[in-house]
Homo-oligomer: A and B are copies of this chain.
Amino acid sequence: MTTPQLTKNQTLVFDVLEKAEGPLSAYTILDKLRDHGFRAPLQVYRALEKLLEYGVVHRLESINSFVACAHPGDDCHSHGIVAFAICESCGQVMEFHDHEVDHRLMEWVRGQKFKPEKTTIEIRGLCEACAA
């Protein structure tokens, strides 16, 4: 997916996510953009929808939040499943991928003749700093 020129709202939402320390909920993004004229959740959700489509933002299903892609310009997303480690204490997110994991999962779905559309791998726990 090639990323077209972002619109004004898409740029605002993306900038907020990029500058954030960790993942943000849609409503948190909304609050951060009230000064820029945002008034309603849909303004955020519509921008997020496009940013997700372009692959520059990821949705963390297990915490209903969104995060800027940590590998911009990388082509990893086109040939692999993205995985996340999420610290439940400080909110830090690590994005990674593992071809062997991808391969095993895709072997399994192939055996089941299952047609995958979107795969979620999220590990919640404590990062090194917080576990100490």
Interface size on A, residues (CB 8 A): 33
Query: How many copies of the shown chain assemble into the complex?
Result: 2
* A120-B117 contact in complex given A98-B104, A98-B105, C-beta closer than 8 Å: no
Looking at the complex, which one of B108, B113, B115, B123 makes contact with A114 (CB distance below 8 Å)? B123
* A128-B114 contact in complex given A100-B100, A120-B121, C-beta closer than 8 Å: yes
User: Is there an interface contact between A123 and B131, defined as CB atoms closer than 8 Å?
Assistant: no
User: Is there an interface contact between A109 and B128, defined as CB atoms closer than 8 Å?
Assistant: no
* A101-B105 contact in complex given A61-B122, A62-B61, C-beta closer than 8 Å: yes
Residues of A90-132 at the interface with B, using a CB-CB cut-off of 8 Å, are 94, 96, 98, 100-101, 104-105, 108-109, 112-128, 131
